[in-house]
A and B are shown apart, each in its own frame.
Chain A
Amino acid sequence: MLNFTIRRLVLAVPTLLFISLVIFLLLELAPGDPMAQVPLTVPPEVKEKMREALGLGQPMHIRFWKWIVQFFWIEPQVLIDSIFGTTFSEGDLRVISWQTRSPVMDIVVQRIPQTLWVVGTAYVVAILIALPIGIYSAYRQYSWFDQMGTFVSMVGFSVPPFFSGVLVIVIFSVQLGWFPSIYDTTLVVNSWDSFMLQLKQMIMPVMVLALQITAQLSRFMRASMLDNLNQDYVRTARAKGLSEYTVVMVHVLRNSMIPVVTVIALGIPAIFGGAIITEQVFKVNGIGQLLIGAIQANDLPMVQTLTFIFAVLIVLFNLIADVLYGILDPRIRYD
Chain B
Amino acid sequence: MSDKIPVTVLTGYLGAGKTTLLNRILTEQHGKKYAVIVNEFGEIGIDNDLVVGADEEVFEMNNGCICCTVRGDLIRIIEGLMKRRGKFDAIIVETTGLADPAPVAQTFFVDQDVSDKARLDAVVTVADAKWLTERLKDAPEAKNQIAFADVIILNKTDLVSPEELAEVEARIRAINPYATLHRTQRAAVPLDAVLGRNAFDLDRILAIEPAFLEEGEGHHHHHDHDHDHDHGCGPGCAHDHGGLKHYHDEHMQSVSIKLGEVDPEKFMPWINDLTQREGPKILRSKGILAFKNEPKRFVFQGVHMILDGDLQRDWKPGEERQSRLVFIGRDLDAEMIRAGAQACAA
Chains A and B come from one and the same complex: no
Chain B residues near A (Cβ < 8 Å): none
A residues adjacent to B (C-beta < 8 A)? none
